[in-house]
Amino acid sequence: MISIKKYELQQEEILSAGIDIGTSTTKLVISKFSLMNMAGGMHMPRIEIIHKEVLYRSPIYRTPLLSQTAIDMESVDELVKKEYANAQISPNDIQTGAVIITGETATKQNAQEMVHHLSNHAGEFLVATAGPDLEGIIAAKGSGAYEYSKKTGKVIANIDIGGGTANAAVYKSGKLCGTCTLHIGGRLIEFTGNQIKSISPPIKQLFRQWGLPFSEITAGSIGYRNEMKRLTDFMAAVIARMLKRDLSAADQPLLLGHEPNWQEDIDEIMISGGISECLYQYETGAPRIVKYDDIGEILAASLQECKELAEWKWVKPDETVRATVLGAGTQTTEISGATIHVENRDLPIRNLPVFQVPFGHELKKGLNRMREAVGQALDMFDPQGEGQNFALYITELPYLGFRDVQELAAMILEAIKVKPNPAQPLVIVLESDHAKVLGQTINVQNQEQSIICIDQIRVEHGDYIDIGPLLQTGVVPVVIKTLTFHH
């Protein structure tokens, strides 16, 4: 990360690495960011990224697996070392970035070990095993859907379809409306020649539900190409029903997690991921490392032929198979406001995911949402209950009087009781200038609770933050490790 003394410099450059280990493919990207102190002279420093450049893109590799349940860590490690050498950089050159394990690879028994191993050997990383919601958000930023929604004000759904999952993220005017993930992807059925090599559990469940002849299809079966097309046609129709928030009981085997949770009607759609590469072939001319021996190309054809999906305008993505890896990186660094409440013994804090709680300028409305918001944050960032901490980002606060601040502090303390590790710091990020008074009020109400409360920072769902030690000026450096847009 950026050391404090470097804030004295007017300009510096940092290197960022993104590594995506997906169900089907693994790839790496090296980017360069130019940072500048935009405040002059005696003013409080404000560091911003003024230029972003992708320096190196690796070829696309088949993700190395030891078995159906384990990643080949040694091969992934060698692959990364080889690509660093090709890019002519060493791990010591990398100050930030992300290792993302996506799709069904995130469920492998050694996925967590793989991420931590890479983070220790490939530079100083933002380390995250992306859950399906987070994966959809990252891909929407890498594909260009997020930026498109900002420019047009339209409601756009990005559907990132890879080997194991289809991750949808819906944006309107740059704001996240909701997410949904389906068991839809190219690797859910694999072939060796004309013989079926493997069938994923959700598809097995679907085939049992459908009865003959599907219920007799197993690993080792030969033929059944017509049935494969019927399956992928069904998958395409399920995506359309998901976009309309109209999934049926028959679709449930393909739903991973929660139902579609946006309220808006979708104007346009964008498709990224490996299946999108089958549609658009952006990688033509690059070495074809990946050979398709699955239902991916059949699924791509079904998407193109689906009448329900044709109801929406399709917007071409900026990136197809590389959307997720290009979505992972660093966008900006900020300095907190001067009126904050922090306990220096808890700093620095690194790799903290952010969950936004909008109050809609109504205190009662926001207070009523607080318990639900903490529950949703736990579902998104700590689904296994392992104690992954997160920051609550409270926005759209109304004017707060003394009693209002007390009420807000009490509700926050009540809401966080469901967290599995109560001893970890309570981290609150505010858009408005209330951090000092809120932090002090929480401290009075519960002196045992460690609190870090900072303000005048703009972040959003899917961002990760680093909070550095307190400076002499009474501010803290905040590194927002958000998602790089590649144009």
pLDDT along the chain (487 residues), means of 10: 40 77 87 69 55 87 87 92 93 75 76 74 56 80 92 97 93 93 93 89 94 89 89 97 96 93 96 92 59 86 96 94 65 43 78 87 90 89 85 89 91 90 86 83 90 80 71 60 33
Q: Could you state, in order of their start, the residue ranges of all structural domains in the chain? A: 4-130, 134-319, 332-481
Q: What's the pLDDT score for residue 334?
A: 43
CA-to-CA distance for 302 and 114, rounded, in angstroms? 34
- Residue 297 in tokens: 């190309």
Q: What's the pLDDT score for residue 458?
A: 75
DSSP reduced 3-state for 133: helix
CA-to-CA distance for 275 and 184, rounded, in angstroms? 10
Residue of 19, 271, 58 whose CA lies nearest to 166: 271
pTM: 0.70
Q: Are 95 and 16 in contact (CB under 8 A)?
A: yes
For tokens 């993220």, what's the residue? 169
Amino acid making up residue 149: S
CA-to-CA distance for 324 and 98, rounded, in angstroms? 10
In a 13 Å sphere around the CA of 220, the CA atoms on its Cβ side amount to 2
Residue of 436, 418, 426, 412 whose CA lies nearest to 467: 426
- Which CATH architecture group holds 4-130? 2-Layer Sandwich (3.30)
Q: What's the pLDDT score for residue 349?
A: 80
For tokens 């080949």, what's the residue? 72
Amino acid making up residue 378: L
Q: Are strands 11-21 and 94-101 parallel, antiparallel or unpaired?
A: parallel
Q: What's the pLDDT score for residue 120?
A: 67
- Residue 140 in tokens: 């929407």
Residue of 47, 36, 18 whose CA lies nearest to 142: 18
CA-to-CA distance for 189 and 203, rounded, in angstroms? 8
Residue 316: what are its φ and ψ, rounded to 5°? -70, 135
Alpha carbon separation from 238 to 13, 16, 41, 259, 303 (Å, rounded): 45, 37, 58, 12, 11
Classify burial at 357, counting beta carbons within 10 Å of its beta carbon; exposed 0-12, middle 13-18, buried 19 or more: buried
User: Do 4-130 and 134-319 come out as alike in CATH topology?
Assistant: yes
CATH of domain 134-319: 3.30.420
Query: Using alpha carbons only, how large is the chain's radius of gyration in Å?
Result: 23
Q: Are 369 and 411 in contact (CB under 8 A)?
A: no
